[in-house]
Structure 1
Amino acid sequence: MFVVTADQRDSQVSDDLVPAGLHAITAAAGPRLALAPERTAGDEIQTAIADAAGALEIVLQLTRLGTWSVGIGVGLVEEPLPANVRAARGPAFVHARDAVDRAKRAPTRVALTAGPEGQDPEALLRLLIELRDRRTAEGWEVHDLLAEGLNQRDAARRLGISEGAVSLRARNAGLRTEEAAAPAVQRLLARLDDEVSRSRA
């Protein structure tokens, strides 16, 4: 199980962004969530999900906002699951607490804890976030249009620029690199979850 705990950055001098964070999690993973996201304390939110792809999508959505420190805990959760995430317990929640505390000190604002097995997935996840952090607003425009299912020609028409300009934006934004890296990170997360679950069972 993946437990994602996110803490709002600079919350003492900014608006309450918890509602936006909860919406981002629901939009990213929706029905795949094992426990719905909730405000757990002050400016902190938490959710649980068994699906590696959904967990990664939550992390990518929250880190893109730039306003959250995001910790991912991987491990067992006590069953049966309670009605809400605040009542849930288990090693995954302990790991998520450690991870979010480390994420607050990380340049990429993300950390993953699962014991020694989590070091490689965390390193690759941070590289992916660093790539995305370097993306310009123009690069995100192309990213979002391609994510809608448009090809580069249609994206160029939508943006009113040449197809060559779209290709250049895509290259500078590292879209091909992310397209290859994200599924690899997802597979590592799924494998990590399997390994941790077997070793702790």
Structure 2
Amino acid sequence: GNILERKRPAARSIGIDIDREVIQAWQQLDVDGLELHCGDAVAWLEGHAFTGREFVYVDPPYVMDSRRGGKLYRHEYDDADHVRLLDVLAGLPCAVMVSGYDSPIYDSSPLATWRTIEFNAMTRGGIAIERLWMNYPEPDALHDLRYLGNNFRERERIKRKKARWQAKLAKLDPLERAAIMECLRELEAVE
């Protein structure tokens, strides 16, 4: 739910959870184009007709052996559930991102060949190193630029730079601003 609520809206966002209470909590979110499905995510993924233009983000219950704490959810995944999920994700014809902690199950799965990044995340048990597995190359363009930067300081620097440029551009004559915007669009077209 945290990602669903914080990400920039897509034309269509689909949330899937087997826990009815989680679905009820997600129903309170103010997210345009949100579809919710209560049930097994793997079964839903297996039955969905993918076009290849989708982006699938999966945040399963983390592998039990990789956690500091014990059970956290009413519906946990055992190792076999993780293997089943990873096999299905590896076969999807679209961009896929999976979050979790480093684990032998993931290291020996098809995801072992995927691009990964690691970052510090605050958890109930303190700071943990979280990993993202992605089956696509580093993108040239992002759906949501609000989180651009490798860390908090870099994100703040970019945010301040953006605000300075926005203030400068706002002071310009509208036609002069339009000429600069045209120049920026031309730069994007070249890349």
So what's the TM-score if we normalise by structure 1?
Answer: 0.24
User: Does 1 or 2 have the higher relative contact order (CA < 8 Å, sep 6+)?
Assistant: 1
Higher gyration radius (CA) = 2
So what's the TM-score if we normalise by structure 2?
Answer: 0.25
Which has the larger share of helix?
A: 1
